[in-house]
Amino acid sequence: MRRLLVDIGNTTVARAWMDEGLELLGTLSTGAGLLDSLPGPPGEVWVASVADAAHTGSLLDPLREAGIPVVEVRVPDHAGLLETRYHPAQLGVDRWLALLACRARGWYPAVVVDAGTATTIDLLDSEGVHQGGYILPGLEMMRSALLAGTAIRLREAPIACAGDALPVGTADAIHCGAIQAQVALIERLTASLAAGGRVVLGGGMASTIAAHLRCRWETMEHMVLQGLAVLAEGDEACAG
């Protein structure tokens, strides 16, 4: 069965075909439907959403009306697949799927970072157990919140942060400060890992953070879709 995998995030919607492999389809433009630009309808749609119910429903209702089966993934329904010290009912499906994808690849111990609208930082220990993690404002949200809550008015755009050089302008100080705050937390957690540990980065700001890390790191494109694929493959194996 050809499945469509869908990641409904806070600001973007990403899709992938899953058949014999995973074919990433990129992000949808604003106002587009989940079936737009597809060559044909999928046999089933698997969805992970962190958006509100109204937005999620506006995307999924047309599929249901067309008679296409929709599987909305919720962490408590699959809690046994990943051991976690976090409260399962409070663990976002996006974080859980990213961890599941890393666990399936044997990428642990690891600090798993999804840097988007928010930055989530989670720790998998040497046994692949999720020990917990952090949720931070994303880099742009950090900058916006600071500007909204102070009298600072920027007259220039920030430049790229260069190595250990201290910023000498306000725009750079804000931009680089947000990056370095997140990098410092990631590196502190990474230092606590057992030998062979790594940082796994995903999300739209992954490359920005990676440029400042001094520890071992690698990227995983579309972590949530990769985790959905692991979950759907397991379901298919059980059904078979």
Which has the closest alpha carbon to 122: 189, 52, 23? 189
Q: Which of 114, 176, 167, 111 is nearest to 142 (CA)?
A: 176
Residues 233 and 176 in one domain: no
Provide the token pair at 48.
Answer: 């992970």
- Rounded (5°) CA angle 10-14-20: 145
The reply to whether 128 falls in a domain is yes
- pLDDT per residue, tens digit, the chain (240 aa), is 899 999 999 889 999 999 888 999 989 988 889 999 998 899 999 999 999 999 999 999 999 999 999 999 999 999 889 999 999 889 999 999 999 999 999 999 999 999 999 999 999 999 999 999 999 999 999 999 999 999 999 888 877 787 778 998 899 999 999 999 999 999 999 999 998 899 999 999 999 999 999 999 999 999 999 999 999 988 654 444
Buried b (16+ CB within 10 A) or exposed e, 84-108: bebebeebbbbbbbbbbbbbbeebb
Is 94 one of the annotated active-site residues of the chain?
yes
Which of 7, 94, 122, 172 is catalytic? The answer is 94
Phi and psi for 37 in degrees, rounded to 5?
Answer: 65, 10
234 shares a domain with 202:
no
CATH number at residue 36: 3.30.420.40
Q: Are residues 45 and 112 in the same domain?
A: no
Q: Could you tell me if residue 37 is inside a domain? A: yes
Same domain, 132 and 156: yes
Strands of 9-109, DSSP E: 13-18, 22-27, 44-49, 70-72
What pLDDT score does 158 carry? Answer: 78
Interhelix angle 139-148/170-191, nearest 10 degrees:
130
- Residue 83 belongs to a domain: no
- Phi and psi at residue 170, in whole multiples of 5°? -65, -45
β pairing state of 44-49 and 70-72: parallel
Label residue 11 exposed, middle or buried (CB < 10 Å: 0-12, 13-18, 19+).
Answer: exposed
The span from the CA of 240 to the CA of 234, in Å, is 10
Q: Is residue 198 part of a domain?
A: yes
What lies within 8 Å, CB to CB, of 202 at 6+ separation is 98, 112, 113, 114, 115, 219, 220, 221, 222, 223
Enclosing domain of residue 40: 3-74+226-239
User: Is 26 in contact with 38 (CB distance < 8 Å)?
Assistant: no
Same domain, 60 and 163: no
- Kindly state whether residues 113 and 199 are assigned to the same domain: yes
Instruction: Note the pLDDT of residue 237.
Output: 44
Strand order in the sheet with 3-8: 22-27, 13-18, 3-8, 44-49, 70-72
114: helix, coil or strand? Answer: strand
Domain count, the chain: 2
217 neighbors 198 (Cβ within 8 angstroms): yes
Question: Residue 238: its pLDDT value, please?
Answer: 44
Q: Is residue 101 part of a domain?
A: no
| Residues 230 and 195 both lie in one domain | no
